[in-house]
């Protein structure tokens, strides 16, 4: 079985839910305290054994490439100022992995960035993580998916439980239990109406694919809204090989493309920082008294 070393991170979207801030700044670069969203995603991949990070971008996403590159002028300034800890922190970003950038080509849809990267993936299994959301877990979400792939030898999608009122926001899975938190997917329903979901297990966010998905991606036709959808390729793949889902253990899902969830993520991660926790809690207490 080939080891998974590559991850595709789609990052070409406009981020319209966060306009006007995303008019000139990539949504993936919005900070969670002092680190951009996409860096959390990359760190998860690296912690899971990934060595090649393929980021699919567009013309307005140059800041992503700059962030994961060395910054000679900044580094010199930090060195001259004696800020050696910060110097090592910013240099470490560029040294995390091999970074590969591809411009997205083709119609709209979340399948398009994976198709754009297919010539680099070859006949290898690979992972996909979105660049504007993440699951904070121990062990990392992607590591949990890779463990399932290595055990069963087939594609696997991360999943989390969601409240019944939220099923209309996600792709929901009809599943067959396999073992513990692992399920075989029987069907996927994209954003079902209330009362029509087969479960409260939302499959999204992280994927490990066998090479067979590439053939399906190259064969699918535009679907809803004339876009190419990853779920359509997954449904076709399920006709020829099983696809599993792993309900992520010890994890918190942050849909940081959503304004309220983005704010919650900032609060949660600020509260993990010793220098911020007490002042932030004091501030909340003062606001509650108003």
Record the pTM: 0.93
Q: Is the pLDDT of residue 203 over 80?
A: yes
Tens of pLDDT, residue by residue over 221-237, are 888 878 899 999 999 99
CA distance 162 to 199: 9
26-35, 175-184, 190-199: lowest mean pLDDT where? 190-199
Q: Is the pLDDT of residue 192 over 90?
A: no
Average pLDDT over residues 79-85: 97
Q: What pLDDT was estimated at residue 205?
A: 83
For the segment(s) 6-257, the CATH number from 3.40.980.10, 3.40.50.12160, 3.40.1160.10, 3.90.550.10 is 3.90.550.10
Tens of pLDDT, residue by residue over 112-142, are 999 999 999 989 999 999 998 889 999 999 9
| CA 7 from centre of chain | 10
Q: Where are the domains of the chain?
A: 6-257
Which of helix, strand or coil describes residue 35? strand
Average pLDDT over residues 191-219: 91
Burial class (CB in 10 A: 0-12, 13-18, 19+), 73: exposed
CA distance 28 to 281: 27
Q: Find, among 13, 31, 42, 44, the residue nearest to 265 by Cα.
A: 31
Neighbouring CB atoms inside 10 A of 275's CB total: 8
CA distance 174 to 188: 6
Q: Is the pLDDT of residue 34 over 90?
A: yes
């Amino acid at each position: 079985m080939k080891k998974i070393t590559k991850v595709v991170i789609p990052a070409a979207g406009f981020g319209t839910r966060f306009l006007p801030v995303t008019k000139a700044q990539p949504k993936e670069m919005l900070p969670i305290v002092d680190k951009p969203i996409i860096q959390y995603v990359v760190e998860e991949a690296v912690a899971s054994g990934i060595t090649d990070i393929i980021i699919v971008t567009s013309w307005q996403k140059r800041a992503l490439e700059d962030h994961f590159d060395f910054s000679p002028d900044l580094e010199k300034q930090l060195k001259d100022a004696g800020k050696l800890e910060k110097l090592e922190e910013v240099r470490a970003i560029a040294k995390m992995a091999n970074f590969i950038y591809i411009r997205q080509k083709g119609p709209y849809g979340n399948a398009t960035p994976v198709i754009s990267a297919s010539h680099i993936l070859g006949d290898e299994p690979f992972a996909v993580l979105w660049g504007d959301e993440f699951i904070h877990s121990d062990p990392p979400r992607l590591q949990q998916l890779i463990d399932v792939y290595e055990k069963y030898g087939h594609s696997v999608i991360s999943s989390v439980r969601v409240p019944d009122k939220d099923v209309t926001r996600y792709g929901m899975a009809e599943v067959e239990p396999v073992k513990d938190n692992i399920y075989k997917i029987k069907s996927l329903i994209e954003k079902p109406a209330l009362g029509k979901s087969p479960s409260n297990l939302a499959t999204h966010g992280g994927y490990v694919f066998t090479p067979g998905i590439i053939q399906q991606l190259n064969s699918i036709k535009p679907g809803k809204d004339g876009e190419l959808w990853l779920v359509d390729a997954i449904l076709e793949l399920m006709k020829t090989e099983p696809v599993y889902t792993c309900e992520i253990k010890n994890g918190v899902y942050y849909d940081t493309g959503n304004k309220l969830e983005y704010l919650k993520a900032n609060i949660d991660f600020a509260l993990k920082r010793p220098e911020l926790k007490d002042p932030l809690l004091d501030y909340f207490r003062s606001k509650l008294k108003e």
